[in-house]
Amino acid sequence: MTKKINVNSKTQQELLEIILKELIQLKENVHVQQHKLNLVVQKPQQLNIFGLAEYLNESPQAIYLKVKRKELPYTKLKNQTIFNIAEIDLFLEMTNNKKRILTAK
């Protein structure tokens, strides 16, 4: 998607705002495409602590701590902690949206 803009008639601030809007739109498009790709590519629906640590690019110790603090949705199966990827993704998306709203105020 290429838009032609007469840069001579725009101030630097206006140009930056146009670029920012385009970047936000591109980011949203990438997010949609990633979501579609995730639907096509089969991935496990549940992970243990080590799998979730890899999935979130965190250490297993950080995941243990978040479980202890009840900062992540999880299920106990016998003595194993199991994470549903869809629940984790939704939880993280909601948490990030909440943080964005709070920092915008």
- Which structural domain range is residue 96 located in? 46-103
Burial group, residue 8, by CB count within 10 angstroms (0-12, 13-18, 19+): exposed
Over residues 56-104, the pLDDT tens digits come to 999 999 999 999 999 999 999 888 999 999 899 888 888 876 666 566 6
Both tokens assigned to 101 = 């709203």
Q: Are residues 37 and 78 in the same domain?
A: no
Over residues 88-101, the pLDDT tens digits come to 988 888 887 666 65
Q: Are residues 84 and 67 in the same domain?
A: yes
Over residues 1-30, the pLDDT tens digits come to 566 767 677 888 888 888 898 889 888 888
Q: Is residue 25 part of a domain?
A: yes
pTM of the model: 0.53
Q: Are residues 31 and 53 in the same domain?
A: no
Q: How many domains does the chain have?
A: 2
